[in-house]
Amino acid sequence: MVMEGLGVAKYHDALSASTWHLLRMSEYKAPNAAEKTVRYGSHQDTNLLSVVCQHQVEGLEMQTRDGEWVLVKPSPTSLVVMAGNALRAWTNGRLHAPFHRITVAGDITRYSAMLFSVPHYKVEVPDELVDDEHPLRFRPHDNNDFVRFCVSEEGGRHEDKLKAYCGV
């Protein structure tokens, strides 16, 4: 749907064939306190898309573009879908990869399931997404190299790791 909306659906099959998926289950222990405790700090995902299902205990917070942290409250039958930095780069910045974190409070442990779509190819902006109104924002890069940069000492010094790694 994203590719159709951007007019680049012709790339779907090739990208899909070179994308792998990771399902991860997470447990965030309850702090047994009324105050919120950060259990997983602020970050942007490095992958294409993340799909999150949280069960009964809230805790996913996203940062708005003006810096405010808001609690994500999906319905019990909804999933949260977030763009990661690989999709941000591939779409030439047209999609936003939100900073997010996990906080918990109270005495109930939080569980969630996350499905990550991870590119196994060179992330390169299609020519159709570069024009005078949208100049090239990110150089082509291998996503595995970008992930290694993100967890390196150098990468840790940058808030916007994608821009630091391959920004134009």
For each of the domains in the chain, give its residue range(s) and CATH number, in order of start: 2-166 (2.60.120.330)
Whole-structure pTM value: 0.91
The predicted pLDDT at position 144 comes to 94
| Cβ burial 15-41 (10 Å sphere, 16+ → b, else e) | beeebeeeeeeeebeebeeeeebebee
Name beta bridge partners: 37: 104
- Lookup: tokens for 103: 């906080």
The predicted pLDDT at position 54 comes to 86
Q: What is the sign, positive or negative, of the torsion defined by CA atoms of 58, 114, 94, 40?
A: positive
Q: What is the pLDDT of residues 45-87, one digit of tens each?
A: 999 999 999 878 889 999 999 999 999 988 888 999 999 999 9
Q: Please list the ranges in the chain whose pLDDT falls under 70.
A: none
C-beta of residue 128 within 8 angstroms of C-beta of residue 8: yes
User: Rounded to whole angstroms, how far apart are CA atoms 109 and 26?
Assistant: 10
